[in-house]
Structure 1
Amino acid sequence: MKLPLPATRDFIGRAVMTLYFTVCATLKAGAIVMALGDTGWTAARAIDVVADIAALGFLVLIVATTVARLPPVKTAQGVEPRVSALIGCFATVTLIAVPRVPILPQLQLVADLITIIGFTLCIWCLWWLGRSFSITAQARRLVTAGPYQIVRHPLYACETIVLLGILLRNPIWMTAAVCAIALAFQYRRLVNEEKVLRAAFPEYHEYAQRVPMFLPRFSGAALPASGPR
């Protein structure tokens, strides 16, 4: 059977992702509206709503960048990069089915604050990534400015912060297992993206030597970015 052209596959993938994240954003917005209508407000509940608003902002930005993303110049070949990307991206969706356990108000507050920080940083990273965003390992445009001059994959680092907040909010073995699976496949996704970016952009080698992959280098400041955004 003849496979669709790359442009057609990219359009189908973009349409499916746009629909999925639009549904997620709509559900999150509905939950926020319901929460705002609740009269029993406390400081902890207000912070919980702020965490949901930060998550909504991230979802809306994903929709916008998916719709407007650039065509890929190179895509990872084979099944494993696609499977790793899908599992890494969507594993946390299964946390909806995990029953929540009661926790101390102090722990909930810490979890919500970590989640807010994580989603806020994710929005910052995704804003800089812009039209280069994709789920699967693809090269569209090399981004080396903003958070990408601190580490090469800041969005993954910030999503890890969100996962920490989720784990603290529901600290049971099922949550920990899903978060571990998500992180493992996100790392594979990161490695596959590295291969594609190195193959697509000759200047990536110099960028990779100058900027660490995942953890910021605190021993010295990163050199100014010399590549395009």
Structure 2
Amino acid sequence: MVPPPATRDFIGRSALSIYFTICATLKAGSLVVGLPHVEWTVIQTIDVVADFAALGFLVLMVATTIARLPPVKTAEGIEPRIAAMIGCFATITLVAVPRVESPPQLQIVADLTVIVGFTLCIWCLWWLGRSFSILAQARRLVTAGPYQIVRHPLYACEAIVLLGVVLRNPIWITVAVCTIALTFQYRRMVNEEKVLQAAFPEYVAYKRDTPMLVPFLSSLNWWR
């Protein structure tokens, strides 16, 4: 017997809340353990700031997952679910990739890129609020804040974070995992747009007037 939608959403919300809470706890624990040993050079200070930015994003993901609205429509079929899972969790495998030594200048650029990316992710997620989800679902149409600049600002900002990750650890496996993640993130965007367009008739006009990923450069958004 298939549980009703409300029950499935509760199970999914609970599982994700627990998962993101564990991730945030582990990140906070590593910061607590590592802070006493930081020498507070420029490189290490920027590295710590990057870790705090990541922690802030994880904490906000916990809050928005717990408080999210019930979905009014969910994508059907297995492909949207596979794309959502791989797109969201592929980068977790990067923690198992050994970090290579890189020039200090590149480390600084990489960490600054990650800080900018996570800061923008926090901004986007704050505006998305209770509409946040992993699967392709429609909860509430958000068109304000960063969403009036592009239709998928959170994905664009996560791509900035991945760029920082690649710069910080520029080896082939990092590039491969990030490429896989971005590929499935694109599929997530396509699936989400189908659901949003079906749930909210006004999404057609919003889609016509707002670029997908690149702000102010509609000519580059050939995937509109």
Structural RMSD (CA): 1.1
Map of 2:89 onto structure 1: 90
Map of 2:179 onto structure 1: 180
Map of 1:15 onto structure 2: 14
Task: Say whether 1:38 aligns with 2:4.
Answer: no
Map of 2:140 onto structure 1: 141
Cα shift at 1:217: 1.6
Counterpart amino acid of residue 141 in structure 2 = L
Cα shift at 1:41: 2.3
Change (3 A) 1:75 1:103: same
Q: Is 1:35–1:49's contact at 8 Å kept on the other side of the alignment?
A: no
Counterpart amino acid of residue 62 in structure 2 = V
Change (3 A) 1:18 1:207: same
Counterpart amino acid of residue 34 in structure 1 = V
Q: Which moved more, 1:23-32 or 1:38-47?
A: 38-47
Q: Is 2:211–2:217's contact at 8 Å kept on the other side of the alignment?
A: no
- In the comparison of the two structures, how many residue pairs are matched? 219
Map of 2:119 onto structure 1: 120
Following the alignment from structure 2 to structure 1, what is the Cα–Cα distance between the partners of residues 63 and 38? 33
Change (3 A) 1:196 1:64: same
Query: What SS does the aligned partner of 1:213 have?
Result: coil
TM-score (norm 1): 0.94
Query: What SS does the aligned partner of 2:51 have?
Result: helix
Counterpart amino acid of residue 182 in structure 1 = A
Following the alignment from structure 2 to structure 1, what is the Cα–Cα distance between the partners of residues 61 and 39? 32
Counterpart amino acid of residue 139 in structure 2 = R
1:158-206 CA-to-partner distances (Å, cap 9, x unmatched) read: 0000000000000000000000000000000000000000000000000
Counterpart amino acid of residue 55 in structure 1 = A
Map of 1:161 onto structure 2: 160
Following the alignment from structure 1 to structure 2, what is the Cα–Cα distance between the partners of residues 9 and 157? 29
Change (3 A) 1:153 1:39: closer
Following the alignment from structure 2 to structure 1, what is the Cα–Cα distance between the partners of residues 38 and 163? 30
Following the alignment from structure 2 to structure 1, what is the Cα–Cα distance between the partners of residues 119 and 105? 21
1:40-93 CA-to-partner distances (Å, cap 9, x unmatched) read: 221110100000000000000000000000000000000000010000000000
Map of 1:200 onto structure 2: 199
Map of 1:226 onto structure 2: none
Change (3 A) 1:163 1:39: closer
Following the alignment from structure 2 to structure 1, what is the Cα–Cα distance between the partners of residues 8 and 217? 41
TM-score (norm 2): 0.96
Map of 2:104 onto structure 1: 105
Following the alignment from structure 1 to structure 2, what is the Cα–Cα distance between the partners of residues 20 and 117? 24
Q: Is 2:149–2:210's contact at 8 Å kept on the other side of the alignment?
A: yes
Following the alignment from structure 1 to structure 2, what is the Cα–Cα distance between the partners of residues 190 and 218? 18
Following the alignment from structure 2 to structure 1, what is the Cα–Cα distance between the partners of residues 112 and 208? 34
Map of 1:210 onto structure 2: 209
Following the alignment from structure 1 to structure 2, what is the Cα–Cα distance between the partners of residues 194 and 41? 45
Following the alignment from structure 1 to structure 2, what is the Cα–Cα distance between the partners of residues 152 and 46? 34
Query: What SS does the aligned partner of 1:106 have?
Result: helix
Map of 1:72 onto structure 2: 71
Question: Where do 5+ consecutive residues of structure 2 fail to align?
Answer: 219-224
Cα shift at 1:35: 2.2
Question: Where do 5+ consecutive residues of structure 1 fail to align?
Answer: 220-229
1:200-221 CA-to-partner distances (Å, cap 9, x unmatched) read: 00000000011011111247xx
